[in-house]
Amino acid sequence: MNKAIVLTGITTTGTPHLGNYVGAIRPAIDASKNANVSPFYFLADYHALIKCQEPERVRQSSLEIAATWLALGLDTSNAVFYRQSDVPEIMELTWMLTCVTAKGLMNRAHAYKAAVAENEEGVDDGMDSGGRATHGAVAGNDPDKGIAMGLFSYPILMAADILMFNANKVPVGKDQIQHIEMARDIAGRFNHIYGEHFVLPEAVVDENGATLAGLDGRKMSKSYNNTIPLFEPEKKLRKLINKIKTNSLEPGEPKETEGCTLFSIYQAFATPAEVDDIRRRYAEGIAWGEMKQVLFEHINEQITPARERYDALMQAPEHIEEQLQEGARKARAVSAPFLKELRKAVGIAPITKA
Asked if residue 186 lies in contact with residue 100, where contact means CB atoms within 8 angstroms, the answer is yes
The answer to whether residue 225 is domain-embedded is: no
Whether 177 and 53 map to the same domain: the answer is yes
pLDDT tens digit sequence for 60-89: 999 999 999 999 999 999 999 999 999 999
Asked if residue 245 lies in contact with residue 215, where contact means CB atoms within 8 angstroms, the answer is yes
pLDDT of 221 higher than 50: yes
Asked if residue 227 lies in contact with residue 19, where contact means CB atoms within 8 angstroms, the answer is yes
The answer to whether residue 117 is domain-embedded is: no
The answer to whether residue 113 is domain-embedded is: no
The answer to whether residue 84 is domain-embedded is: yes
- Closest to 67 (Cα-Cα) out of 312, 310, 319, 322: 310
Query: In one letter, which amino acid is 167?
Result: A
Cα–Cα distance between 326 and 314 in angstroms, integer?
A: 18
Q: Hey, how many other C-beta atoms are within 10 angstroms of the C-beta on 304?
A: 12
> SS3 letters for the chain?
CCCEEEEEEEECCCCCEHHHHHHHHHHHHHHCCCCCEEEEEEEEHHHHHHHCCCHHHHHHHHHHHHHHHHHCCCCCCCCEEEEHHHCCHHHHHHHHHHCCCCHHHHHCCHHHHHHHHHHHHCCCCCECCCCCECCCHHHHCCCCCCCCHHHHHHHHHHHHHHHCCCCCEEECCHHHHHHHHHHHHHHHHHHHHHCCCCCCCEEECCCCCCCCECCCCCECCHHHCCCCECCCCHHHHHHHHHCCCCCCCCCCCCCCCCCCHHHHHHHHHCCHHHHHHHHHHHHCCCCHHHHHHHHHHHHHHHHHHHHHHHHHHHCCHHHHHHHHHHHHHHHHHHHHHHHHHHHHHHCCCCCCCC
- CA–centroid distance for 88 within its chain: 21
Cα–Cα distance between 11 and 49 in angstroms, integer?
A: 9
pLDDT tens digit sequence for 140-193: 578 999 999 999 999 999 999 999 999 999 998 888 899 999 999 999 999 999
pLDDT of 230 higher than 80: yes
Whether 76 and 184 map to the same domain: the answer is yes
- CA–centroid distance for 124 within its chain: 36
pLDDT of 272 higher than 90: yes
Query: In one letter, which amino acid is 22?
Result: V
- Amino acid 205: pLDDT: 87
Banded model confidence at residue 134, pLDDT cuts 50, 70, 90? very low
Strand partners, 38: 5
Whether 193 and 308 map to the same domain: the answer is no
Whether 87 and 205 map to the same domain: the answer is yes
Whether 50 and 181 map to the same domain: the answer is yes
pLDDT tens digit sequence for 289-346: 999 999 999 999 999 999 999 999 999 999 999 999 999 999 999 999 999 999 999 9
Asked if residue 241 lies in contact with residue 295, where contact means CB atoms within 8 angstroms, the answer is yes
Q: Hey, how many other C-beta atoms are within 10 angstroms of the C-beta on 249?
A: 14
Whether 191 and 289 map to the same domain: the answer is no
Mean pLDDT of the chain: 92
Whether 246 and 205 map to the same domain: the answer is no
- Domain with residue 240: its CATH number is 1.10.240.10
pLDDT of 125 higher than 70: no
How many domains, the chain? 2
Whether 46 and 183 map to the same domain: the answer is yes
Domain that holds residue 329: 4-107+148-210+318-346
pLDDT of 137 higher than 80: no
Whether 72 and 48 map to the same domain: the answer is yes
pTM recorded for the entire structure: 0.89
- Domain with residue 88: its CATH number is 3.40.50.620
The answer to whether residue 129 is domain-embedded is: no
The answer to whether residue 334 is domain-embedded is: yes
Cα–Cα distance between 165 and 169 in angstroms, integer?
A: 11
Cα–Cα distance between 281 and 94 in angstroms, integer?
A: 54
Cα–Cα distance between 204 and 171 in angstroms, integer?
A: 4
Banded model confidence at residue 130, pLDDT cuts 50, 70, 90? very low
Cα–Cα distance between 203 and 170 in angstroms, integer?
A: 5
Whether 165 and 263 map to the same domain: the answer is no
Asked if residue 331 lies in contact with residue 165, where contact means CB atoms within 8 angstroms, the answer is yes
- Amino acid 352: pLDDT: 82
Banded model confidence at residue 128, pLDDT cuts 50, 70, 90? very low
- CA–centroid distance for 44 within its chain: 9
Whether 174 and 248 map to the same domain: the answer is no
The answer to whether residue 257 is domain-embedded is: yes
